[in-house]
Amino acid sequence: MSRLVQLWRTSTVRLTATFILIFSIFSILLLAFITWQSSVQIQRQQANDIDREVRVLQRIDTNQGIRALAFAVERLSRNPGPGVYFLGDTSGQYLLGNVTDIPANVLIDPGIYSFDYERADPLADPPPEGPAGDLAPPPRPGFAVVRSVELSNGMRLVVGRDVVERRGFSAIIVQSFMFGVLGIILFSVIAGGVTARRVLKRIDTIRDTSTKIMSGNLSERVPVTRRNDEFDGLATNLNAMLDRIEQLLQGLKEVTDNVAHDLKTPLTRLRNQAESALRDGASEESRQRALETTIAESDRLIQTFNALLMIARAEAGAPSGALADVDVSTVVADLAELYGPVAEDEGIVVETAIAEGVHLRGNRELIGQAMVNLLENAVKYAKPEGEGQGRIAVGLRRAGGRVLIEVADNGPGIPEADRKRVLERFVRLEKSRSETGSGLGLSLVDAVTRLHGGEFRIEDNAPGVRAVIDLPG
């Protein structure tokens, strides 16, 4: 019983039961209307036949006389079928017809009547030969609907139809109606049960998968069938979401490991420098160097945390009112000019190809920070292997309704297999992690680009790297 109650509580079963009820009620009403309409149509047809025969017989009486009328009534009376005919004299005494006993009120007052009667069955077997052969076949009971009229010569004419057969036909219709209703209800219950079972089975599959995932098995996925129905669409979206969650958790683990490494080292150095400065016998010069080193390490830590906060801010989306019209041409040109002397000190040439008057709706501060990160990376790595002049190319252009900001260098470049990975936080291709940097620069650029609805790509510059910020214009 508890299983049935639990099953009834599910929305699928209740919706199925509701649809079954609505379908059954509609089907019953439709069959009832068909049954009633069939019965009414039969009654109307019989009434029309009676009226037509009465008019014909009255016309025969008027035009051809009583002898022709008597011949017509006699001929109609001999035909097998549901017809009821009676011709009486002015006093109502039987003269001709297949019914001899007519109620007096039917003969006295012309009109439409219904009554029980008996008449000989013309289709009955003939009586046996011999002494018993004089016995007439038993009369057949019936129920008639008739119309009684008084002819112009005062004679009484009754024409009608036996409705026993019609009642039998109506009973067959009602019986068929009942069987139809039972069949509809049975079929609806079976179809609804099969449908509910299939739907619940798919839902149970999703629930079982989610239970396994909650227990710690993040590799579980919702099965997808070949039906390509709405459940498969839901399963596909859920699997994509689970893949993304698994990637985020894996990334979180890597970020945690990298944060532990990148922050532990400078903190250890800070402690060692402070301990060295407090050691007995330390000179004033060594204490001064220790303080300077502590400040430098503290600045690096602050920069790392600022980068993390800015990435989080960009990924969370810009607050209301933070986006405005930005003159991107001015931002890119100013930063390229600012980093020109820095690159020159490193022996690197900065070349620019910046289109004028390029505007878009965005956040000036975040776009500027993304450009700063790209330029700092370019200055750090724009040193070709072996001999050669380091070059950085800064470009801004429109292309097909898009705004493209490009920073390219001719350094050693990034292997194609690592171009997606370097966008993750704290990822540094330099394994020893001895060079300065936190591995957050390109992650910030990617977050800012996605905030503005664009795409950040790292392409091959042959040699070197071309970083492209592709924004909607």
CA angle 395, 396, 399 (to 5 degrees): 120
Range of the domain at 443: 324-472
Read off the pTM.
0.46
Tokens of 421: 């990975």
Q: Please answer whether residues 377 and 442 qualify as being in contact, where contact means their C-beta atoms are separated by less than 8 angstroms.
A: yes
Does residue 204 share a domain with residue 73?
yes
Show which of 316, 335, 368 is a domain's final residue: 316
Does residue 385 share a domain with residue 254?
no
Does residue 340 share a domain with residue 464?
yes
Does residue 336 share a domain with residue 248?
no
Residue 134 lies in a domain: no
Q: Label residue 152 exposed, middle or buried (CB < 10 Å: 0-12, 13-18, 19+).
A: exposed
Does residue 172 share a domain with residue 117?
yes
Does residue 391 share a domain with residue 281?
no
Does residue 266 share a domain with residue 191?
no
pLDDT tens figures, 256-298: 666 666 667 677 777 887 777 777 666 777 778 778 878 877 8
Q: Hey, is 349 helix, strand or coil?
A: strand
Taking residues 83-91, report their average pLDDT.
87
Q: What confidence tier does 232 reach under pLDDT thresholds 50, 70, 90?
A: confident
Does residue 311 share a domain with residue 451?
no
Q: What confidence tier does 320 reach under pLDDT thresholds 50, 70, 90?
A: very low
Share of the chain above pLDDT 90, in %: 8
pLDDT tens figures, 174-208: 777 778 778 877 877 787 777 777 777 877 888 88
pLDDT tens figures, 102-138: 888 888 888 988 888 876 655 555 555 545 444 555 6
Q: Hey, is 353 helix, strand or coil?
A: strand
Residue 347 lies in a domain: yes
Residue 295 lies in a domain: yes
Does residue 168 share a domain with residue 204?
yes
Does residue 60 share a domain with residue 199?
yes
Q: What confidence tier does 101 reach under pLDDT thresholds 50, 70, 90?
A: confident
Residue 366 lies in a domain: yes
Residue 128 lies in a domain: no
CA angle 417, 421, 422 (to 5 degrees): 110
CATH number for the domain spanning 274: value is 1.10.287
Residue 133 lies in a domain: no
Residue 69 lies in a domain: yes
CATH number for the domain spanning 115: value is 3.30.450.20
pLDDT tens figures, 386-409: 667 888 999 999 988 899 999 998
| Separation of alpha carbons 205 and 239, rounded Å | 13
Does residue 200 share a domain with residue 70?
yes
Q: Residue holding tokens 């540094």?
A: 428
Count up the domains in the chain and report the number.
3
Tokens of 217: 């098995």
CATH number for the domain spanning 425: value is 3.30.565.10
Q: Residue 464: is its pLDDT beyond 80?
A: yes
Residue 132 lies in a domain: no
Q: Label residue 115 exposed, middle or buried (CB < 10 Å: 0-12, 13-18, 19+).
A: middle
Show which of 218, 241, 268 is a domain's final residue: 218
Please report how the helices 441-451 and 364-381 are oriented relative to each other, as an axis angle in degrees rounded to 10. 150
Does residue 449 share a domain with residue 381?
yes
CA distances from 272 to 263, 287, 299, 416 (A): 14, 12, 17, 40
Show which of 316, 341, 371 is a domain's final residue: 316
| Inter-residue long-range contacts of 95-101, CB under 8 Å, 24+ positions, other chains counted | 95/70, 95/155, 96/70, 97/73, 97/158, 98/122, 99/144, 99/158
